Structure 1
Amino acid sequence: MRHCRAHKSLLPLLLLCGMAQIVHAADAPWPNSIGVSISSLENPYFVALSHGARDKAKQINPKVKFSVASAGYSVDKQIAQIQTMIQQKVQLILVSASAEDGLVQVLTTARQQGIIVIGVDVRAKGAMQTVLTHNINAGYLVCDYLARSLNGKGRAAIQTGPQVSSVIDRVAGCKQAWAKYPGIELLSETENGEGSVWGGYVATQQLIKQRGPVDMIFAINDRQAIGTQQALEKAKHAHTKIGSVDGSQAVVNAIAQGSAIIATASQSPRTMGQRAITLALALHAGEKISSEFELMQPTLVTISNAKDFKAWDANQGN
């Protein structure tokens, strides 16, 4: 009987301990583990995006586990990365999809496991919500500016890149702008700069070899624009004007100095990463999704505002 009484005397204490653990778990900051799969860590844009998400998450929970993986625009590699995150039981996945339709199954599996999935930068079927730049507007703004700078006339080319939704939309926006100008002849839209400086350089060389001199080139990101400028300089095609999308410090500086690059549509990758965390928190709190996509408007940077424009990578390493 003494054993029984001793056992009963421990019950209130055990119950209190159990309740304390439940309360503590309920009060713990969310999320405590985040997995991020982005297109390329070689691109400073995606580094800035992941830093924005990380900094916002650490404001909420300084002890959050935050891991970033680079898919290198490979769908298979990205699927494997997300499968690993599911096995690690992360609470939130941020994904910049290597292909809009390529991750549906694995992202659906993640959601079935109770993981919140937010797309960033590009559309990803299977994500609960996505925050991205209004890329059609970005392409339109830049190409309209290029056209007006040449009085609506000239030989033009579009330099494409990895076939993610952001690139597809920028090209579409550019073509919409140039369609307004009967005097513009679109020579090519097939050269792929692969999102890199070297890719832009090679794509421009191919363009010049096949088509000869051009008056304007739209490159889908700033890195390609820099490679394009280098190729044009080597070919001594000083008259060609270049426009792109990103708003990086290097290109903003080039515009301010009067280079061949005359316009870029600036994005906000840090803010995009921060916003992705905010959207995830809202979903975790049970808020309803008002829109599947949240579009961030780009800012056109030209010679008129480049000198005073603060690029998103003005303070690299923060």
Structure 2
Amino acid sequence: MSQPLLKVSNLKKHYIIRDRLFAKRRVLAAVDNVSFAVGRRETLGIVGESGCGKSTLARCLVSLEKTTSGQIQFDGVELTAASQEELRQLRRNLQIVFQDPYAALNPLRTVGESIIEPLLNYNPGDSRELEEKVEQLLTVVGLNPEYKTRYPYQFSGGQLQRVNIARALALNPALVVCDEAVSNLDSIVKTQIVDLLLRLQDEFSMSYIFITHDLHVVRRIADRVAVMLGGKIVEVLPAGELAAAIHPYTRYLLSSTLSGDPRRRRQRKPGTQLTGPAGNGSAAVSGCALQHRCPEFCEQCHVEEPILKTIGSIHQVACHLIG
């Protein structure tokens, strides 16, 4: 990869929590020592089950959460050390689309007013030019420009997500983080939104970080896939080679994808079933985050955390059983 657009190094986001009012405080490692890079016009998919740290990572990347430690370099600028004004300017090129399209919009504003807001913040100018820009953005995402005077409650979920995408595009960003952006949509609308994102990537020359739990979607939209478990990345491989995943957790995710054949849904390949509940991401647990659920664990899994190792050219995996 040439000079990456985004480079994340040893990123951590820990929370101090109490389970009960007078209980002892403990550390929750929502994101724990995560490193990756995203190239220009590349889509990195990030997958994992609920609670693995995907959304916390997304919020750290766009500076909605303050990181505990680590570095985030965006277009050569260190975000974790940037001033408020520097961050404000950098956000022009770094946008996010959230999971809930309704919650992401102000219900008291028309969608046109929501789309125009970032333009007013950065490029205040002639009102007629701004109105034309809003109409252009609505057209680009497949909506009637006359819809600019409507309110969020007058739209379906898929239409509202198109509005959110239009707002993210307003400043022509270099990178858009899609945090479960299609998870709340039905299958037909989900396909339409994915098609839209692929077309917009070509048209605007953007990069994406596409966070999802849907492996069918990530295969279609991503160039590479990073698999998260317990706040860590445990495998990185090309999206087209997901079937060749070798980490036990990735194989479990693949086997959990529903098939149209009921006979296949009743059967899983050997070595793809996990036991026990998902972990809580506690930094107090030593060793592998999968150790209490993996049927293939060894003694080393209990005492030593596996690190990402390169297998082949661009395939990485963190597992003591693979060397």
Superposition TM-score tier, normalisation by shorter sequence: 0.3 to 0.5
Which structure has more relative contact order (CA 8 Å, sep 6+)? It is 2
| TM-score in terms of structure 1 length | 0.33
| TM-score in terms of structure 2 length | 0.33
Larger proportion of helix: 1
Bigger CA radius of gyration: 1
